[in-house]
Amino acid sequence: MSEIVLALNDLEAGYGRAALVLRGLSVTVEAGQVVCLVGPNGAGKSTVLRVASGLLAPRSGTVVLSGEDVTGLAPQDLLTRGLAHVLQGHSVFREMTVAENVLLGGFTVRDGALLARRAERVKELFPVVGERWGSIAGLLSGGQQKQVEFARALMLEPRVVLLDEPSMGLDPRTTQTVFDQIDLMRRTGVAVLLVEQNARRALETADVGCVLDLGTVHISGPARDLLADPRLGALYLGGAARG
């Protein structure tokens, strides 16, 4: 068994005084593994990522990153420990250039030479980032913006990346590119915790799938097995998986 880079244990979390969104949820992600969270709207998928990256403090449970309990730490503290989070929708700094966006991914790094080397590396991983280096990020297409966000997230060479609905609003061809790049992250040794509405496509890419419902993991297992699991069809895919 590979090293566990991220373990979410018995998480309970919610927004303000409202009812709990996560109810005793546990998920583990191993090094170089893509774990995919699927489930209906309101199941708590994005909330899992927000708790894991420190944007939302859990009411109970723990977040363990590379063996260290990091529950309640701020996003910047988790970032420097090797966890990056790409938000749902578009989160580029729209009025800045692609270069500024990517270099801000290394905001916590003071070594200019190191930043330049990292920037060259992400340009190799995401060629469109290099091609549009001087362009205003807000003027790029949705798929290109997503790649800028990926590049920005990889500037600190994280051990685990949280991706929230990376294919949202993208056409099928661009969606394919995005999933190819998730595969690329895995091949470079980065663990990925992926939340995705496009469940079938996500499970085809992931190593492990977790089906969430009402804030807890309902079913989990190897992603390809889940695709054929009739319980998944009944719960989420509207019976399509049964065939």
Partner 1 sequence: MTLLLQGLALGVLTGGLYALLASGLSLYFGVMRVVMVAHPAFLFLAAYLTYTLHTASGLDPLLALPVTVPLFFALGVAVQRLLVARLAPENLPMMSVLLTFGLALVIEGLLGTVYTGSYKSVSMDYATRSLTLGAVRLPYDRIVAFAVAALTLAALFTILLKSRFGRALRATIQHREAARLVGIRTERVTGYGFGVGLATAAVGGSVLALITPFFPAAHWAWIGKLMAIIVVGGLGSVLGAALAAVMLGVIESLVLVTVDATWATMMFYVFLFLTLIARPQGFFGGRLAQRF
User: Is residue 100 at the binding interface for partner 1, with CB under 8 A as the rule?
Assistant: yes
39: Cβ–Cβ under 8 A, 6 or more apart, which residues?
Answer: 45, 211, 212, 213, 218, 236
Q: Pick the binder of partner 1 from 31, 96, 115, 136 (CB under 8 A).
A: 96
User: Is residue 92 at the binding interface for partner 1, with CB under 8 A as the rule?
Assistant: yes
- By C-beta, is 110 or 173 nearer to partner 1? 110
Which of 210, 157, 201 is CA-nearest to residue 37?
Answer: 210
User: Is residue 166 at the binding interface for partner 1, with CB under 8 A as the rule?
Assistant: no
User: Is residue 76 at the binding interface for partner 1, with CB under 8 A as the rule?
Assistant: yes
Q: Looking at residue 87, what DSSP letter applies?
A: P
Distance CA 198, CA 63 (A): 26
User: Is residue 157 at the binding interface for partner 1, with CB under 8 A as the rule?
Assistant: no
User: Is residue 74 at the binding interface for partner 1, with CB under 8 A as the rule?
Assistant: yes
Distance CA 82, CA 1 (A): 21
Pairing of strands 34-38, 60-65: unpaired
Distance CA 61, CA 59 (A): 7
User: Is residue 53 at the binding interface for partner 1, with CB under 8 A as the rule?
Assistant: yes
Q: Pick the binder of partner 1 from 82, 105, 143, 166 (CB under 8 A).
A: 105
- By C-beta, is 15 or 180 nearer to partner 1? 15
User: Is residue 93 at the binding interface for partner 1, with CB under 8 A as the rule?
Assistant: yes
- By C-beta, is 89 or 189 nearer to partner 1? 89
